[in-house]
Amino acid sequence: MLRSTTAQKLLRCAAFCLAILAASLMTAAMFLDYEVDAHYFRTGAFLPVAALICALLSSLCGSIPALVTREAATFNSPFPPHRVLLLSPIGFLLAGGTILVSGNSEFLNTAVGTLLLLASLYGFCLCAPSLRQRSALISLLGLLPILACILLNAYYYFDVSIQMNAPIKIALQIALLFAMLSYTGEVRFHLGRPMPRLYVLISAWLTGIGSLLAISLPVSFLAGTVSRADYAAGAILLASVMLTQHRHVRRLLAERLPDSNTATEDTSLEESTSLEENASLEENTSPEENTSLEENASAESPENHSEGNR
């Protein structure tokens, strides 16, 4: 078991640094080794392979805390309101709006874009203290991001303008699958059936695979290397989901493995509480009881026994 928070922080730091390195290498590969017309990287290119290795190592480092730590107790609310939670609904709005205005199929674009816009309601409700207490409503709205990720994955899958086995297309679809699973884990929390270790594991792989696209695709689109705005919007959606998942995982791991200083403070607090309770019990003891106790003590003393013998 991983009992040291120092080891846990080192693993998370390593996972974060490897994800940043993977994103940087993939961004460089998009400019140097990516063939726009064929949608493939040059044969024998080193940068995309190195980026993939860093992404897999990042996922493995992020998965270790979920595999070796103790099972959590009960988490009533692992998703408190925070400004970071606004990034996810903004990502859904941006992706939905982009797919609505761009397009290959009018019906498919309308269906996918509308569902993505509706999926943003879940993130906005999580940021509203008055609404997030309604577990039934939040759980129902939590199904929208799941369905949106599934439909967006189908949107990319049936896009015949890019080859089925194109690296960017495959990576985007896999990352969307992990995003769908992570939202499924969130809904389990709201339903009172959490699986925190599995949630941390899925979030680690979402971060690792998503790092290949979260920066490289939007930057390549802005630079003109990639011409598909809908793919860049999907990568921005993944980046927003990754940031919110990172916030959730930090809170979950903080709840699962309290800091040693916190544990020391809790121990000292318990000791002081027990001392205060003992003092209050002594104060509450009546004078008559104290007198009787003193008389019994004096009667049982050795001097009284010797006088009795004389």
Q: What is the pLDDT of residue 301?
A: 47
Averaged pLDDT of the chain: 79
Lowest mean per-residue pLDDT among 185-189, 249-253, 271-275: 271-275
Task: Judge whether 41 lies within some domain.
Answer: no
Of the chain, the end-to-end C-alpha distance in Å amounts to: 69
- Tell whether the model's pLDDT for residue 103 goes beyond 60: yes
* Model confidence pLDDT, tens digit, residues 255-304: 554 443 433 444 444 444 454 555 554 555 444 444 554 454 454 444 44
- Residue range 166-175: average pLDDT? 94
DSSP 146-197: HHHHHHHHHHHHT-TTS-TT-HHHHHHHHHHHHHHHHHHHHHHHHTT---HH
The pLDDT value recorded for residue 179 is 95
Question: Residue 262 has what pLDDT?
Answer: 39
Residue 67 is assigned to a structural domain of this protein: no
Q: What's the number of domains the chain is made of?
A: 1
The single residue listed with the structure tokens 């990568």 is 235
pLDDT tens, 62-91? 998 778 766 544 444 556 667 778 889 999
Quote the pTM value: 0.76
Residue with tokens 């089925």: 164
Higher pLDDT, 292 or 239: 239
Task: Determine the pLDDT at residue 170.
Answer: 94
| Average pLDDT estimate for 188-215 | 90
| pLDDT (0 to 100) of residue 105 | 67
Instruction: Identify the weakest region by mean pLDDT among 131-135, 159-163, 296-300.
Output: 296-300
Asked whether residue 238 is assigned to any structural domain, the reply reads yes
pLDDT of residue 75: 46
Give a yes or no: residue 122 inside a domain: yes
pLDDT score recorded for residue 306: 45
Angstrom distances, CA of residue 274 to CA of 180, 266, 282:
48, 12, 13
Question: Average pLDDT of 6-16?
Answer: 86
Lowest-pLDDT range, 26-40, 75-89, 119-133, 259-273? 259-273
- pLDDT for 14 beyond 50: yes
Alpha-carbon gap, residue 86 to 120, rounded angstroms: 9
Q: Is 272 left (phi over 0), alpha (psi -120 to 50) or beta?
A: alpha
Q: Is residue 160 part of a domain?
A: yes
In a domain, 4, yes or no: no
Q: What is the pLDDT of residue 65?
A: 79
Domain of 90, in residue numbers: 81-259
Phi/psi at 78 (5° precision): -80, 0
| 195 occurs within a structural domain | yes
Which pLDDT score, from 0 to 100, does residue 196 have? 83
Q: Which residue has the higher pLDDT, 230 or 78?
A: 230
Q: Does some domain include residue 46? A: no
Q: In whole angstroms, how far apart are CA 270 and each of 24, 276, 283, 286?
A: 49, 10, 20, 27
- Looking at residue 107, its pLDDT comes to 82
